[in-house]
Amino acid sequence: MYRNTWVEVNLDSIYDNVKTTKDICKKKYIAVVKANAYGNGDYEVARTCIEAGADMLAVSSLDEAMILRNEGYHGKLLILGATNPEDIPVLIDNHISTAAISFEWVNKVTQSNCKGLMIHLAVDTGMNRLGFKDLATLKEAFDRLLAAGCIPEGIFTHFYCSSEIDHDITNKQFQLFKEAVQSLDYPFEWIHCDNSDATIFFQDELSNACRVGISLYGLSPYTNALKSVVSLYTQIFMTKTIHKGETVGYGALHTAEEDEIIGTCPIGYADGFIRKNTGRKVYVDGEYAEVVGNVCMDQTMIRLPHDVKVGTTVEIFGDHISIEKMAQELDTISYEIMCLISERVTRKYIRHNKVMKECNQRLINSNIQKNNIISH
Ligand SMILES: *Cc1c(COP(=O)(O)O)cnc(C)c1O
């Protein structure tokens, strides 16, 4: 690591969170590691989930599925999003299952050779994103897939209000899903509807697998039994005292009203620390400190309550500022906060209580491209 801004991902806690949620749901376990495991590193997170007993991994696209295959994962793998019908041979060759998302999609797929393709039928129970809404169309698609030699190994739906206190919508969605599953009367190996939140509050008798994403990182409105996993840190690399009337950063957004100690940190919006963070608090040397002025691309200035040494760690989120609190203050959700942390930020992985690996993905990628030539 050559720049002192890093994410700490505690794999021990992910391991424990898988065990805990698995104990709650008592079903087969699909770990959702889409979007590079919510930005946290699909290889390390996937590996830990498998060690802790996950039965299948799910991603959002064929790119993400192939990345996991390239990284050496040979187990059950499902794409929850849309796959291009032209790419079906790649799925079959690599034993990757995919969602059947619409009648049009099934029509296209079954026009060429799709024998052996493993399918999970997506049932739209009201989210209006992907899937079949109408039972007759679902049945027609199912029959065509079977006739073409596809393997309908699963059926699923997705809840869109499971984090809300009132579970009426989720109950209604579940009833529609149940009707869809019963109408096909087929022994699906994988029947799944519960995301993280529903896995914790919704113990249904129909599904035989849960599909857990955000709970892997200990983020749940329903239980305190999970452990927090992800923290973001940077460091002070210089401090200075400014006087009344001096300004800080682009656009002179902040003006000092008295003498102030300003610390500069190597984190900016290119790291996913968005400009909206101005005015928010970070945690430095036992105290909260305010982000002042505009966040720059690569650097951020904070007003320190007391002078600190160069090299002092700054917590953006972690033990003192929860990722949920940060999300709330930025009008977003924890998922987005994690996904926004860019590849430029080094990830440190903790396993068996020590730093097991430090990984800067862009540096690693550039090593692979070492023999490329930009200019002589
Ligand atoms: C992202 C996603 C999940 C995981 O949701 P969490 O709320 O993170 O548990 C499950 N199923 C589908 C279809 C998804 O897109």
Which residue, 80, 249, 215, is CA-closest to 154?
80
Q: Write the CB contacts of 42 (distance below 8 Å, at least 6 apart in sequence).
A: 33, 36, 59, 64, 67, 68, 71
CA 59 to chain centre: 10
Ligand 1 near 32 CB (within 6 A): yes
Are the C-beta atoms of 321 and 283 separated by less than 8 Å? Answer: yes
pLDDT tens digits, one per residue of 68-115: 999 999 999 999 999 999 999 999 999 999 999 999 999 999 999 999
pLDDT tens digits, one per residue of 292-314: 999 999 999 999 999 999 999 99
Alpha carbon distance 226, 9 (integer Å): 15
Residue with tokens 């391991």: 15
Residue from 211, 223, 337, 339 whose mutation best tests the ligand 1 pocket (most atoms within 8 A of CB) = 211
Single out the catalytic residue among 34, 76, 178, 281: 34
Predicted local distance difference test score (pLDDT) of residue 255: 98
Are the C-beta atoms of 50 and 226 separated by less than 8 Å? Answer: no
Whether 2 is catalytic: no
Average pLDDT of the chain?
A: 96
Element (H, E) at 93: helix 88-93
pLDDT tens digits, one per residue of 240-266: 999 999 999 999 999 999 999 999 999
Closest ligand 1 atom, CA of 214?
8
pLDDT tens digits, one per residue of 173-226: 999 999 999 999 999 999 999 999 999 998 889 999 999 999 999 999 899 999
Helix (H, G, I), strand (E, B) or coil at 83: coil
How many beta carbons lie within 10 A of that of residue 193, not counting itself?
Answer: 27
Strands (E), 266-336: 281-284, 287-292, 300-304, 313-317
Share of the chain above pLDDT 70, in %: 100
| pTM above threshold 0.75 | yes
Alpha carbon distance 176, 135 (integer Å): 10
